[in-house]
Amino acid sequence: MHILVVEQNGSGRNKTAGIKKYGNPDDLVTIVAIDEHLPEFVDEPEEYITVDTIRGADLVLNYLTHPDLSHYLIGLCSRQDIPVVSSGKHDEQGYTPFTCCGLGRHERLGSYGRCFGFPEYRVQLDNGNITDIQVVRGAPCGASWEVLGQVVGSTVADALVLLPRLVQYHCTADPGRFDPITGKSPVHYAGHVHRAALKKACAEAETGLPEKQI
């Protein structure tokens, strides 16, 4: 799968590193960086992004921070029938989860969608202590994986407090961008979805059944 990252001034750097480290090793990840100074309003976004920019991509990850360029990129991908993930953006086209770790499963997102999005864990327990955690699906920033060394060995109760806090420390989202409906910032949201994933995995480990069958 060819994953094209479009970023500004390193806006996708951490996530790109996580995708390369924890994603499908057979995927090709390339970067288009727009690092020049931009005016407040970009009247001709095609000067920066064209069809050739996205040609050959199976998936585009939109980490652009300028709203005019971001909106144009999403529309261009839609017209070319290339799926585009634009976390934290507001647009009717493409996939626009509140955070990168809030992305649901979608067949069109291929191996990226199988590796990244709403976190999923597998847990092993021994007398109420977590002895091992495996990430089935996680955040492209890598937080889902990189905090586990500090969680293994904890009791379930302690881990449900510790893991979301560690994830929030690691999260690179803008903590000031609050969702007006839930009142949560992306950082709070990231902690919440990781806690929910761990709770579900622990419940399944305790019963040996998927949580929905408990």
The yes or no reply on domain 120-213 and CATH 3.90.1010 is: yes
Residue 8 per-residue DSSP state: S
pLDDT band at 173 (very low <50, low <70, confident <90, very high): confident
Q: What is the pLDDT of residue 176?
A: 61
Residues 145, 143: Cα–Cα separation, whole Å: 5
Instruction: Check pLDDT > 80 for residue 69.
Output: yes
Q: Which CATH number fits domain 2-96: 1.10.8.60, 3.40.430.10, 3.90.550.10, 3.40.50.20?
A: 3.40.50.20
pTM of the prediction? 0.90
Tokens (6 digits) for 68: 């005019």
d(C-alpha 9, C-alpha 163), whole Å: 30
**Residue 63 bridge partners (DSSP):** 7
CA distances from 161 to 124, 129, 157 (A): 18, 14, 7
pLDDT range class, residue 178, cuts 50, 70, 90: low
Gap between the Cα atoms of 197 and 25, Å rounded: 24
Q: Domain limits of the chain?
A: 2-96, 120-213
What single letter denotes the amino acid at residue 6?
A: V
Q: What is the mean pLDDT of residues 183-192?
A: 86
Measured from the Cβ of residue 10, the count of other Cβ atoms closer than 10 Å reads 11
**Would the pLDDT of 179 be above 90?**
no
- State the pLDDT at residue 185: 85
Given a cut of 50, is residue 115 above it in pLDDT?
yes
Q: Summarize pLDDT for 189-214 with one digit per residue, the tens.
A: 999 999 999 999 999 998 876 655 43
Mean pLDDT of 172-185: 64
